């Protein structure tokens, strides 16, 4: 399979009947941001070959797409710890239509650049899951994320998602903002599910290294439960009943100005 065919544009477009919620570095503002994330299952013995193909074939095309405004940002991330996903390709735009249109444009550019050839990417990463997220809240407005990140994928009640976002902003957001202001986090984000699998909310944090990042996360968690009887935190735990954590090396990212 050609790497350009991994985008799943048609299937995703059919799945979206009407708009419904990573750019962790953007502050909450009037501009909407949607994130199309492709989570790859790769052969752990040869996945470095996939990284080489991304660097060779995708980086020039996607970087140019950010520079000319086709997309807001994009990135390629490598698994350090967590579940079965081994790589993430994410790209962002200001609307669902804009994101899907951008994917068609980028796919065409990549086909042209490669002359329609199959570069063998799926020999190393042969399956993937697609998610479409909408950014709900961001961090301190920094345009640059850290070198490493943690993603927390939450399984939550679909009937209570507005309340979940309200509780997150009361319980976690002040502590995340404080950590970012103090330089303990490079960025953070809270994103809501639009299309994809079981996970309904995605929380992200990035930092300069894993030691700094994990210490900041531990301080935030301790702050949430400091009084031992945080009713909002308890309610949030009841509405989001389970989660999966991943640690990611941020291999390449580019964001517009």
pLDDT in tens, 215-256: 999 999 999 988 777 899 999 999 999 999 999 999 999 998
pLDDT at residue number 115:
86
74 phi and psi angles, rounded to 5 deg? -155, 165
pLDDT at residue number 27:
38
pLDDT at residue number 116:
81
pLDDT at residue number 2:
52
Sort 229 into a burial class: Cβ within 10 Å, 0-12 / 13-18 / 19+.
exposed
Q: Residues 200-218: pLDDT tens digits? A: 999 999 999 999 999 999 9
Question: Is the distance from CB of 117 to CB of 219 less than 8 angstroms?
Answer: no
Supply the angle between the helices 210-224 and 173-181 in degrees, to the nearest 10. Answer: 140
Q: How far apart are the first and last CA of the chain?
A: 34
pLDDT at residue number 139:
52
Sign (positive or negative) of CA dihedral 175, 28, 95, 100: negative
Which parts of the chain register pLDDT below 70?
1-30, 139-143
pLDDT at residue number 227:
77
Tokens coding 173: 């957001």
Residue 232 CB partners (closer than 8 Å, separation 6+): 167, 170, 171
Question: Is the distance from CB of 191 to CB of 136 less than 8 angstroms?
Answer: yes
Whole-structure pTM value? 0.87
């Amino acid at each position: 399979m050609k790497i350009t065919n991994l985008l799943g544009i048609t299937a995703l477009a059919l799945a979206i009947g009407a708009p419904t919620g990573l750019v962790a570095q953007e502050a909450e503002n009037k501009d909407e941001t949607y994130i199309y994330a492709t989570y790859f299952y790769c052969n752990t013995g040869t996945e470095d070959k996939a990284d080489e193909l991304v660097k060779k074939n995708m980086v020039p095309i996607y970087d140019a797409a950010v520079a000319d405004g086709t997309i807001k940002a994009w990135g390629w991330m490598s698994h350090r710890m967590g579940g079965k996903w081994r790589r993430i390709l994410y790209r962002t735009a200001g609307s669902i239509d804009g994101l899907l249109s951008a994917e068609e444009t980028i796919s065409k550019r990549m086909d042209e650049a490669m002359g329609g050839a199959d570069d063998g990417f799926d020999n190393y990463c042969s399956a993937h899951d697609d998610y479409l997220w909408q950014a709900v809240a961001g961090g301190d407005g920094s345009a640059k994320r850290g070198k490493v990140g943690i993603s927390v994928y939450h399984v939550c009640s679909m009937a209570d998602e507005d309340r979940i976002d309200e509780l997150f902003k009361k319980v976690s957001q002040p502590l995340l903002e404080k950590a970012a202001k103090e330089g303990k986090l490079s960025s953070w984000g809270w994103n809501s599910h639009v299309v994809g699998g079981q996970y309904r909310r995605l929380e992200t944090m990035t930092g300069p290294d894993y030691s700094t990042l994990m210490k900041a996360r531990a301080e935030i968690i301790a702050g949430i439960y400091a009084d031992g009887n945080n009713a909002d935190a308890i309610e949030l735990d009841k509405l989001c009943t389970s989660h999966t954590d991943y640690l990611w090396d941020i291999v390449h990212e580019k964001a517009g100005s």
